[in-house]
Structure 1
Amino acid sequence: MTENSVIAPVAAKAVGLDLTLPAAPVREILERAFAEDAPGGDITSQLLIPAGARATAVLNARVPGVFSGATVFRDAMQLVDPGTEVELLLADGDRFDAGTHLARVSGRARSVLLAERVALNLVQRMSAIATRTAEFVQLAEGTRARITDTRKTTPGLRILERFAVRCGGGANHRYSLSDAVLAKDNHLAVMTGGDPARLTELLRAAKAQLGHTTHFEVEVDRMDQIEPVLAAGVDTIMLDNFTLDELRQGVALVAGRARVEASGNVNLNTVAGIAAAGVDVISIGALTHTVASLDLGLDVELTAG
């Protein structure tokens, strides 16, 4: 996102997206992060900062964006020192301008300084994802298309990054390989053994083994695969790297018999056209795998002691 980007108000809360995070996995992420960042404490602060010194600092936005990670920032500060006071000035999903104060922290200076980098790293990345998602959502506005993430997330941080997508008004795809069936090109190549004529038969047999609540999605990369896949009774068909003309033809061919997902070659320049083609879902790996952390800083306002 550029400093001059314009973001419409985020609709995450209006559409009822879940903007809560479970405490246990967040704490586990934070504990791992602090074990990595300060395995023996913060020797710089221990050397330079008196034990009794206190500090007040603000989380300051240096560029506009959408806030995500408010409670993660708070929990990071208070995991280091439960006595640290954190006032959240904005909520997850709120839009902000450059210069906005997002949170205020008061406590022992050594504790604030030890927690600073872990807290900032996470809230900067989460807010970047929320901001990028909001840009995509805005460009798809007025169509039926839902913007979703993918499994292209940072290992160990998926729960935070998917939450950030929701803060930006997007939705989540399957969480893991255990949640739904998604047969992609490599699955189909192995399964059919090079005999595409058996595709419908093999998919139908596979679907018969699933429980009725398990979602079954199949990716296709050619127009002639659509009918054989639909004949197997799948729930969603993913049109991968189709041109806009092909997407429109694909949507017409499906004709409501399954949900249509578009994926591949989706960016801020192409998403509006893809959404206008009539697809139901647009999955975008770039929501999480290529964002640059948003420029937020923790600035000390006052010290005492």
Structure 2
Amino acid sequence: MNLDQTAVREIVRRALAEDLGPDRLDVTSVATIPADQTDTGDLVARADGVVAGLDVAAAVFDEASGGTVGFAKKVSDGARVARGDVLATVAGPTRAILTAERTALNLLSRMSGVATHTRAWADALAGTKALVLDTRKTTPGLRALEKYAVRAGGGTNKRMGLYDVAMIKDNHTVAAGGIAPAFRLVREAFPDVTIQVEVDTVAEAVEAVEAGSTFLLLDNMEPHQLREVVAAVDGRAELEATGGLTLDRAREFAETGVDYLSVGALTHSSPILDIALDLRPRS
């Protein structure tokens, strides 16, 4: 579940700049807290869930403080936590801790919310061969973090963007004059790229497989239709159910024999996991 630390630092710097403005200034903390004051605080879960993004939160405190705030994790990403659990402890200059607080919590809470939602899907599919996939329906600028959070929650990443996998969707098929011509054009242009094909019917699924596709997106199909495609394809391609899937019907779709369920809601509709920073009382 590695994260690109260069990408993390870039995201953290942008997020802090948004909060601190051109002068990099927290006017409230500067006005109310002596420069030499130090404190210790705990990052605490306010609800049950799954944690993701602790290293990202640590990077926020480090960046905002110039390395003067220490960050000690009490749990690991992917852990299930309960309301009241301490996730990490921070210690150092109080001004820096409070300056970093909201940015760190925004990112940590967002990522943990995605992980929590993903875990619910992974649990629903347990015992079937189907895995839950994310999509490109991510928050602009936060794709790397949100896809990491999906992994922390027990999900699987699909493609990162338009550059690493070719996905022939219905509009591409229309523009190219059919599934087979579209597949041929992509294969000729990019011989080594993985190609996935979106289909709406059993006939299109068979056409795509015969054209050479080994991965099909089965768009907005009901379980009985998915079973028909599974039988017709007969193991010649991996199959992904996509479109309009809901958690309450997840297992019904998984038990059709498809390999994946892709769920845009993992990243576009997950509520945050409420996490707070509590300074310890001063002695």
Structure 1 residue 36, shift from structure 2 partner: 0.8
User: CA separation in 2, counterparts of 1:106 and 1:132?
Assistant: 31
Q: Which amino acid aligns with 2:254?
A: A
Preserved contact between residue 153 and residue 161 of structure 1 (Cα < 8 Å): yes
2:83 pairs, out of 98, 101, 109, with 98
Quote the residue 1:8 is aligned against.
Answer: none
CA deviation map 1:152-183 (0-9, x unaligned): 00111100000000000111000010001101
Structure 1 residue 141, shift from structure 2 partner: 0.7
CA deviation map 1:50-90 (0-9, x unaligned): 11221211100011111100111111111111111111001
Pair 206,159 (structure 1): closer, same or farther in 2 beyond 3 Å: closer
Pair 201,114 (structure 1): closer, same or farther in 2 beyond 3 Å: closer
Q: SS of the residue aligned with 1:28?
A: helix
Consecutive unaligned residues in structure 1, runs of 5 or more = 1-18, 193-197
Consecutive unaligned residues in structure 2, runs of 5 or more = none
Q: Whose helix fraction is larger, Structure 1's or Structure 2's?
A: 2
Preserved contact between residue 187 and residue 193 of structure 2 (Cα < 8 Å): no
Quote the residue 1:222 is aligned against.
Answer: 201
User: CA separation in 1, counterparts of 2:60 and 2:36?
Assistant: 21
Structure 1 residue 138, shift from structure 2 partner: 0.6
Write out aligned runs for 1:51-62 (5 A).
51-62=35-46
The alignment covers a number of residue pairs equal to: 280
Q: Which amino acid aligns with 1:23?
A: Q
Determine whether 1:203 maps to 2:183: yes
User: CA separation in 1, counterparts of 2:144 and 2:230?
Assistant: 32
User: CA separation in 2, counterparts of 1:126 and 1:202?
Assistant: 37
Q: Which amino acid aligns with 2:64?
A: V
Structure 1 residue 201, shift from structure 2 partner: 4.4
User: CA separation in 2, counterparts of 1:275 and 1:242?
Assistant: 12
Write out aligned runs for 1:1-305 (5 A).
19-39=1-21, 40=23, 41-81=25-65, 82-192=67-177, 198-211=178-191, 213-303=192-282
TM-score (norm 1): 0.89
User: CA separation in 2, counterparts of 1:289 and 1:74?
Assistant: 24
Structure 1 residue 223, shift from structure 2 partner: 2.6
Structure 1 residue 126, shift from structure 2 partner: 0.3
User: CA separation in 2, counterparts of 1:199 and 1:103?
Assistant: 51
Structure 1 residue 203, shift from structure 2 partner: 2.5
TM-score (norm 2): 0.96
Identity of aligned residues (%): 40
Preserved contact between residue 72 and residue 122 of structure 1 (Cα < 8 Å): yes
Q: Higher mean Cα deviation, 214-223 or 29-38? A: 214-223
Preserved contact between residue 54 and residue 303 of structure 1 (Cα < 8 Å): no
CA deviation map 1:174-195 (0-9, x unaligned): 0010001101111111111xxx
Structure 1 residue 292, shift from structure 2 partner: 1.3
Structure 1 residue 20, shift from structure 2 partner: 1.8
Q: SS of the residue aligned with 2:99?
A: helix
CA deviation map 1:118-160 (0-9, x unaligned): 0000000000000111100010111111111000001111000
Runs of 4+ in 1 over 6 A off after TM superposition: none
User: CA separation in 1, counterparts of 2:274 and 2:64?
Assistant: 23
User: CA separation in 1, counterparts of 2:234 and 2:57?
Assistant: 46
Pair 45,80 (structure 1): closer, same or farther in 2 beyond 3 Å: same
